[in-house]
Chains A and B, each alone.
Chain A
């Protein structure tokens, strides 16, 4: 579809190097997206190729901007919680988890200890489902549909469990400021145990496939390499940075909620494979081993879970009344399946947040596409882009970057939030 490449430019590419060769092989710009079968979400990649080799990459996003922060400031604390849940459908626990932590931090609400453990259990169940989903998508991108069907079949079981625990397959509606809405009872624990047993075996099987399958090895090894230096410089997050050998994991570094009690260690390929290349294969291995790690975390959490209440205040209106009296700032963080999510909330003694800022991992990780793709082949684009596990719906709510063509062709203009607000006012409300 979009591979026809309407933006063909015959150019001698004013770059240094062998000028003569460039005259023979013109550079062509291939637009991929926003609506493209290889991408499940609307985002636009402009990839400049010289023959088969990629020489430049540009990412344009914003096709998924829904103005969530703006909406959140116009709804009350509890309504915004459900809006936070719908930032992303794959990590639909991550954002409410962060939002509730930030709101509790801002309004001085104490969370019962049991609720912290339940939050961790749901978060890890979600990580299992998200990583399985990713392995399937990665299999699909390399044309290995068997993997897609195996992992998605395995994944259905965890959705059943989440439905049993929370009442919904996706968008669980489990979070509440000051706790969680449903308790984990004895019948739930039995079902969780049964599932964990199943997932231990499934994870072993998948790790076996991931490490020893020839197709996976040939397509993923030495492709889309992200060196450790680049990962640190670009501040890449989550499994993408751990695949390059950086021991970065918020669960390990901060120990928020119940993670501090449970104790988590970042999974890095040097511990599993013995060496790091930072390619797609390493990232796949990290994700597969994290499946096993999540199962262990849930087991520990179930063992250590204390008894007691799960909510600070059962009546939402009473809760909002109390939050109206408080003012302050709060930060919530969570290691989402894709990397660290941070949310900032300022409470201004009103029934809604005065400022709500979301920073999701994909905004950092998208930057990694350029060092990964440079020098690779066109056929590797889908798997390399998929290897950062992009979640565009989380991303498209940050500062807008626009190219100012008049001033300078290469200069990018960064708007401050003040300017942006002015922009939106002019365009929409007047």
Chain B
């Protein structure tokens, strides 16, 4: 793995994250908050949870896409400036998880918007989520250098 500063050359700073809840059960969401709080403390890398998709580089999406949230997820994706990375956090947004087969679910997420990194787990551990973010930065870097 290339060192982080080299990975961030393309962005010029640490990646900023926007979190979308598309109807998850909260467990992935509280693990995302746990990533930002003292035990795991992603903010020491400069990874910040921003309050608008227009400021974000990486979208963390949790939950199977519930029918009422479908348009909103698409709209948030369109509002995020390029280059952007989408991380599907948790089993639900990756594969629908236990809710597969329900009448009001339009997921998994990659049916709705393009997904770059999948973080599997119900819920994934905070370390996994951080690792997913690092993977997304690597992909961003590879895109910039024309490797993909």
Residues of chain A having any CB pair with chain B under 8 Å? 1, 34-35, 37, 40-42, 62-68, 70-71, 74, 82-83, 86-90, 92, 133, 136, 148-149, 152-153, 156, 159, 169-171, 391, 393, 396, 424, 427-429
Contact = CB atoms under 8 A, between A and B. Distances in A.
Contacts of A68: 99, 102
Contacts of B97: 86
B72 A169 contact: no
Contact of B37 (A42, A70, A152): A152
B21 A42 contact: yes
B123 A63 contact: no
A171 B101 contact: no
Contacts of A88: 25-26
Contact of B39 (A1, A83, A156, A424): A156
Nearest to B43: A149
Nearest to A80: B98
A89 B27 contact: yes
B22 A42 contact: yes
Nearest to B33: A152
B98 A63 contact: no
A64 B64 CA distance: 9
Interface in B112-141: 122-123, 125
A153 B26 contact: no
Most buried by A among B21, B38, B51, B123: B21
A41 B29 contact: yes
Contacts of A396: 23
Interface string B60-75: 0001101111001000
Contacts of A169: 31, 123, 125
B103 interface: yes
Interface string B61-94: 0011011110010001000000000000000000
Contacts of A41: 21, 26, 29
A82 B101 CA distance: 15
A149 B66 CA distance: 31
B27 A171 contact: yes
Given A66-B64, A66-B66, A90 B21 contact: no
Contacts of B28: 89
Contacts, number: 124
A40 B26 contact: yes
Most buried by A among B22, B27, B29, B72: B27
Contacts of A90: 26-27, 30
Interface string B21-62: 111111111110110011100000000000110000000000
A35 B123 contact: no
A51 B1 CA distance: 55
Given A66-B23, A71-B102, A92-B25, 5 more contacts: A63-B66, A64-B21, A64-B63, A65-B104, A153-B38
A102 to B, nearest CB: 19
A293 B64 CA distance: 37
A88 B64 CA distance: 14
B105 interface: yes
Contacts of A152: 33-34, 37-39
B66 A170 contact: no
A424 B25 contact: no
A133 B39 contact: no
A136 B34 CA distance: 11
B17 to A, nearest CB: 12
Given A66-B99, A71-B99, A170-B30, A86 B23 contact: no
A197 to B, nearest CB: 20
A83 B96 CA distance: 12
B26 A63 contact: no
Contacts of B66: 42, 63-66
Contacts of A153: 37-39
Most buried by B among A37, A42, A153, A428: A42
B20 interface: yes
Given A65-B68, A66-B64, A1 B51 contact: yes
A133 B34 CA distance: 10
Contacts of A136: 37
Given A68-B99, A86-B122, A149 B29 contact: no
Contacts of B30: 89-90, 133, 170
B98 A82 contact: yes
